[in-house]
Amino acid sequence: MKKLLAPLVLMVAAVIAVAVVMHIQQQGPARQAGGGGGGGGPVPVVLAEVSRDTYVTTLESLGTARSNESVDLAAKVTGRVEALNFTDGQQVRRGDLLARLENAEEQAELREAEVRLTEQRRELDRIRGLVADRALPRQRLDEQESRVAEAQARLEAARARLDDRVVRAPFSGVLGLRRVSIGALVSPGTLITTLDDISIIKLDFTVPETFLPGVAAGQTITARSAAYPGQAFRGTVTSVDSRIDPGTRAGIVRAEIPNGEGLLRPGMLLTVRLEKNEAVSLSIPESALVPVRDEQYVFVVNDEDRVERLLIRTGRRAPGRVEVLEGLEEGMRVVVEGTHRVRPGVKVAPREPAGAQAQDEAEAQRS
């Protein structure tokens, strides 16, 4: 039995020895590549300099387009429509006559008031001369001046009643659809048409209360509409509502967008992008970050190409970049590729990114 076991023990020992040798041979290159302080060569890494980039906080919301000015044009008195001087969608200027109601009676009252005022003024001139010649007392002059003022007031009232029989454009803009016809009997409040000033579009959108402190007049917004894919409309914030909606905990922000081409119309739904707090800050590639629990570290390479680990405080992020608020200075070199292979104090060998090497090789082959 012992004779049988002896060769078996020798075979097992030989297998173990071979496995140990193979493990040592495999670990040797790994130690040299890792540079873990065992006297190996420098660790190849890709570096990037700490630079400055522009960072902007962006808010996105939905907004509703409104006219710069908007009004429903309606009748002020009861009467029949005598004339309509506009068509649907017509551009009008402030003061243009749009509609007129029958006004024969008001015209007669106006002429009567004008005649009465003319007579009273003539009588005033006659009495003024007699008072100057001391033929009449001063009291008669005062009484006649009161009659002239009364006639003037009646004339103004007659003109106001006549003005109530016409509808004019209160401002320049574009008319909506005509809602009445000639000969129709209208009453106070009857809608005749609408008028909108769309040369400028007011855009109202909501912003959560936590972001409102950073929103102010003068900031730039970019709006987009599903009606015009790929087209952006730029505007400016003009005001922020003084109240917060208790239901949504958001405030309304109003911006104005120039609309010279008339593409935007009141009531359209727009997506809004608001940029605020623009600042130039220190910046590093996002791949340089080494998170440890709730903290962020980076590996910095000194002039001797040795690694030092530093704690930093980060801020806003952009695609592939991160803002650095504390811990670094401009011009420092940080490790962006190979962070898992380095340790503090390790010597590194900076190299170009793989993509850059491939590009250089391709250019060399083309040349």
- Regarding whether 113 and 202 lie in a shared domain, the answer is no
- Regarding whether 260 and 170 lie in a shared domain, the answer is no
* Domain CATH for 274: 2.40.30.170
CA–CA distance, 256 with 271 (Å, rounded to integer): 14
- Regarding whether 174 and 85 lie in a shared domain, the answer is yes
- Regarding whether 202 and 117 lie in a shared domain, the answer is no
pLDDT tens column, 203-219: 999 999 988 888 889 88
* Amino acid 133: pLDDT: 83
Q: Which parts of the chain sit beneath pLDDT 70?
A: 1-40, 354-367
β-bridge mates for residue 244, sequence order: 251
Residue 93: count of CB within 10 angstroms of its CB = 9
* pTM, 2 dp: 0.63
Give the structural domain span for 157: 103-164
CA–CA distance, 223 with 63 (Å, rounded to integer): 9
Closest CA to 165 of 84, 85, 94, 78: 78
* Amino acid 366: pLDDT: 53
- Regarding whether 204 and 259 lie in a shared domain, the answer is yes
- Is 315 part of any domain? no
- Regarding whether 83 and 175 lie in a shared domain, the answer is yes
- Is 98 part of any domain? yes
- Is 238 part of any domain? yes
Cβ–Cβ < 8 Å for 92, 116 = no
Any idea what DSSP says for residue 31?
A: H
- Is 338 part of any domain? no
- Is 361 part of any domain? no
* Amino acid 59: pLDDT: 87
* Amino acid 3: pLDDT: 46
CA distances from residue 33 to 37, 64, 113, 281, 347 in whole angstroms, order as listed: 11, 61, 109, 36, 11
- Regarding whether 112 and 93 lie in a shared domain, the answer is no
CA–CA distance, 73 with 84 (Å, rounded to integer): 13
- Is 329 part of any domain? no
- Is 20 part of any domain? no
CA distances from residue 149 to 6, 132, 145, 287 in whole angstroms, order as listed: 142, 21, 6, 87
- Is 244 part of any domain? yes
Structural domains counted in the chain? 3
Residue 194 identity: T
* Amino acid 352: pLDDT: 82
pLDDT tens column, 172-195: 999 999 999 999 999 999 999 999
- Regarding whether 238 and 219 lie in a shared domain, the answer is yes
- State both tokens at 37: 């302080």
CA–CA distance, 207 with 235 (Å, rounded to integer): 16
- Regarding whether 268 and 203 lie in a shared domain, the answer is yes
* Domain CATH for 135: 1.10.287.470
Cβ–Cβ < 8 Å for 75, 167 = yes
